[in-house]
Amino acid sequence: MIAAIALLAVACNKNQSAVKKLDGTWTATEYKVSDDGVTVDWLAEGFINSVTMSFEACKLKDDEFCNVTTTINTDFGDATEADIYRVSNDGTTLEVKDDLSSTTINSSEIVDLSGSYLELKQTDDDGVVTVIKMEK
């Protein structure tokens, strides 16, 4: 029983540690989409001008979410979306959904998260892989 409690505490600490590292505004340096063996960096090709994600730090507890705002700038203007997020799986998964009542959760693998570098990887149901590299 003590070992199970200790394991749970370590997992929660890793998730909370990732939330603390995410706190702040991140700007994409790469936004690569791979489909059918073809990879395109949407930033480098000019499909999008910029992507920012602003994560709000909070005290993460079971089933609690924090606020995140994503802004994508294109030649047609800005698209800003306010969502909620949490970190799970010992700090290796970022889960985002529209609001608390939403049942759809978009999950991304946290490939790397340091003080000023973030790399996310998401694979959709069709096998399309999106890798976003960001800096604070």
Cα–Cα separations (whole angstroms), residue 62 to 42, 57, 65, 131:
35, 15, 9, 27
Q: Give the CATH number, domain containing residue 58.
A: 2.40.128.20
Distance CA 22, CA 105 (A): 18
Quick one: pLDDT at residue 64? Answer: 85
Give one word for 111, left, alpha or beta, with left for phi > 0 and alpha for psi -120 to 50. Answer: alpha
State the total domains in the chain.
1
pLDDT tens readout for residues 101-111: 999 999 999 99
Question: Does the reported pTM lie above 0.95?
Answer: no
Give one word for 98, left, alpha or beta, with left for phi > 0 and alpha for psi -120 to 50. Answer: alpha
Host domain of residue 44: 2-135
